[in-house]
Chains A and B, each alone.
Chain A
Amino acid sequence: GIQVEQSPPDLILQEGANSTLRCNFSDSVNNLQWFHQNPWGQLINLFYIPSGTKQNGRLSATTVATERYSLLYISSSQTTDSGVYFCCVVTSGTYKYIFGTGTRLKVLA
């Protein structure tokens, strides 16, 4: 099956810093989403981005489907950005949503 790898696995930032999270996938995908899992376990939708670039406030994302990767940019990080970030893909020809390995982010005040 498809492999979805995220990097880095762990990231510690000082408040105000910028960061880039990466999601690599091993096969063609129809859909790609980015989620933030907060400390209570809730998954928050960040971006639905099968291709192209989107921005929402301090966050933006880019997916280059032909090269099989997606990037999530966090600018001017805040302590509330802490948590785990997951990408999730749906492979072409299936209807299964497969999660990446995750990036655990901690933003220090």
Chain B
Amino acid sequence: GAVVSQHPSWVICKSGTSVKIECRSLDFQATTMFWYRQFPKQSLMLMATSNEGSKATYEQGVEKDKFLINHASLTLSTLTVTSAHPEDSSFYICSASRDKNTGELFFGEGSRLTVL
């Protein structure tokens, strides 16, 4: 299967700082990547669709100034949590589809953010 890699796996930061999470497609080019957020014991919630070379599309209720998404190349999308606060602590996970015909989705390992 396709490989999507996410980094870092764990991050702890102080309140008010910004954190960047990287998502890479290792063996295919991804014009579109997806960012999800997951709270403990809950399902995955789609935050935004990251489009290579253009602005991300955010879901309703997701603050685009808080969660900055950049998709500068066909293999890399980044999510920056700006001025992080404890309520931003969560599990963030990215995904991409290699084949636009089938649309089969592959996920990164996820990044667990803890804001102190």
Q: Are B32 and A95 in contact (CB under 8 A)?
A: yes
Q: Mark A67-89, 1 if CB is under 8 A from B, else 0.
A: 00000000000000000001010
Interface 0/1 of B77-116, CB less than 8 Å to A: 0000000000000010101000000111111011010000
Indicate whether A86 sits within 8 Å of B43 (C-beta atoms), given known contacts A42-B107, A42-B109, A96-B49: yes
Report B's interface with A, CB cutoff 8 A: 1, 32, 34, 36, 38, 41-46, 49, 91, 93, 95, 102-107, 109-110, 112
15 contacts between A and B (CB under 8 A): A31-B103, A33-B104, A41-B109, A41-B110, A43-B110, A45-B105, A45-B106, A45-B107, A97-B95, A98-B46, A99-B43, A99-B45, A100-B43, A102-B43, A104-B41
